[in-house]
Amino acid sequence: MNSIPKVPKVLEALVPLVFLVVLLIISLIVFRDNGLEGPNQIVLILSSAIAGLVAVFRLGYSWETLQEGVVKSISSAMSSILILFLIGALAGTWLLSGIIPAMIYYGLMVLSPTIFLFAACFISAIVSTATGSSWTTVATVGVALLGIGKVLGFEDGIIAGAIISGAYFGDKMSPLSDTTNLAPAMAGTDLFTHIRHMAKTTTPTMIITLMLFLVIGFNYETVGNVADAQLFSKVIASTFNITPWLFVVPLLVIAMIVRKVPALPALLVGALLGGVFALIFQPEIISRIVGGNGPFYYNGFKGVMMALFGKISVVTEYEMVNKLLETKGMAGMLNTIWLIVCAMVFGGIMEESGMLKVLAEAVIRKVHRVGSLIASTAATCIFFNITTSDQYLAILVPGRMYADVYKKRGLKPENLSRTLEDSATVTSVLVPWNTCGATQASVLGVATFTYAPYCFFNIISPIMTILYGYLNLGINYYPQEEERA
């Protein structure tokens, strides 16, 4: 073992990556949608072991150095893990209090099958833009929209695709979004220059997305019907105390996030207020959940605690309705958190050993034109979303790598920041083992590969930014380059 580690060769860096991809394909074939239950986690652990073997025995790294990289990588995901726990708790108390059933109840009154997918995408986009958070949007209005879509007869995948498409529009364009602030910081431009420049590619992408969902909605043969929707509404109204006052809680959470209250305290307040509203509006539901006739304070405490940490379900006479009225609380997020930790182990070893950097630099050496530079940046971001399993690393690392390259080519930094968002931010949710993909699959209960084909906004965004690059549309040059052109 060398005292000074060697710089990895491209082939050496490819070994753990190829191993990961091959095993994930095998896992997908064998376990299909159940990969989140453990198979994908084991694949990531085995791939981490291969990366560690290459780093130690071929490159001369010590295990202590690699372990520091792993700990650093996992630490970077801790805020996401804490948010996941609180989303699970929030989902539990919002079901117990009747907030989510109320959203479904009123949604069924105003949304028709033909415009539902369009409306789901548009509503998600509005809420996400207002809050700056795709995760909060999906965990609140997204869950309710999924329930409405199921009642109307749409398949889970296409509903989730519409919700996620809208949610990631807001995540990309909102000045409150952390990724929208991170990308210009990495590229060296200011926030509003970045947003204005992004609008050139994001606006046509969103218009295309909404049109696709509108066309699909008018031509989709749903298995649901008006009678089903009326039945669901009737059962929900007879089971829960449905009142507009329940919307105070989600509106307050949205208001807190708009006023830049950090996500963790905002979600905690939302979860606890959901418990308070359950005590006020749904005491009978709490008694049913607890399964006892104890005093109010006993039943209330036990019922709210159960909703926060574990699985609860409200049982009615109709099995179809029962599927919408269950949640797993914090405990339901453990498989997702397990996956995130395993992914961070793999990403930490790959980054600490320099293997990710070598692979990215190999791509940069092939770049000669503006179009190919933007395409390479987008590909690198997607590559880091797959290999590091983290949206922020997929912005940070390529942002650092390409900043000087863009400057030397006479391209203003907003071109880089836009490409980072058009590719890194939106594609993270399409990777099952990425923190974003794992989270949305867990929150919605829809496998990543099931909803991914319908995330039109997320798929079209990187294509649009690459197309603009090759056609030299919406590209900002420094003045001397503009004169040459």
pLDDT (tens digit per residue) in 358-404: 877 787 777 778 888 999 999 989 988 887 777 877 887 788 778 87
> In sequence order, what E strands does 271-387 have?
312-313, 326-327
Least confident of 9-13, 229-233, 284-288: 229-233
pLDDT in tens, 297-320: 899 999 999 999 999 988 888 776
Contact of 118 with 210, CB cutoff 8 Å: yes
Rounded Cα distance, 391 and 434, in Å: 8
Tokens 């893990």 found at: 81
Cβ-contact 237, 105 below 8 angstroms: yes
Residue 1 is predicted with a pLDDT of 47
Dihedral over Cα of 394, 397, 403, 408: its sign: negative
Q: Say which residue, 331 or 79, is predicted with more confidence.
A: 331
* Best CA proximity match to 426, nearest among 128, 187, 145, 150: 128
Phi, psi values for residue 261, rounded to 5°? -70, 130
Question: Is the model's pLDDT at 104 over the cut of 50?
Answer: yes
User: Do the Cβ atoms of 218 and 137 come closer than 8 Å?
Assistant: no
In contact, 389 and 435? CB cutoff 8 Å? yes
Q: Give the C-alpha separation, 376 to 378, whole Å.
A: 5
Q: Lowest-confidence range among 61-70, 186-195, 245-254, 440-449?
A: 186-195
- Taking each helix axis as running N to C, give the angle between helix 226-239 and helix 143-152, from 0 to 180 degrees, rounded to the nearest 10: 130
Residues 201-210: what's their mean pLDDT?
96
Q: What's the CA gap between 146 and 156, in Å, rounded?
A: 7
Measure the CA–CA gap between 44 and 38, rounded to whole angstroms: 10
pLDDT of residue 222: 67
Q: Does residue 149 contact residue 226 with C-beta atoms inside 8 Å?
A: no
Rounded to 10 deg, the angle between the 263-281 and 283-290 helix axes is: 100
Residues in the chain: 485
Average confidence (pLDDT) over 59-75: 91
Q: List 326's β-bridge partners, or say none.
A: 313
Contact, 250 vs 99, CB < 8 A? yes
Q: Which of 172, 145, 121 is nearest to 250 (CA)?
A: 145
Q: What is the dihedral of CA 107, 113, 116, 118, to 10 degrees?
A: -160
The predicted pLDDT at position 485 comes to: 40
∠197-200-202 over CA atoms, to 5°? 105
- Residue 366 — φ and ψ, nearest 5°? -90, 0
Domains in the chain: boundaries: 10-75+334-484, 79-332
The mean per-residue pLDDT over the stretch 133-142 comes to 82
Q: How far is Cα 414 from Cα 465, in angstroms, rounded to an integer?
A: 12
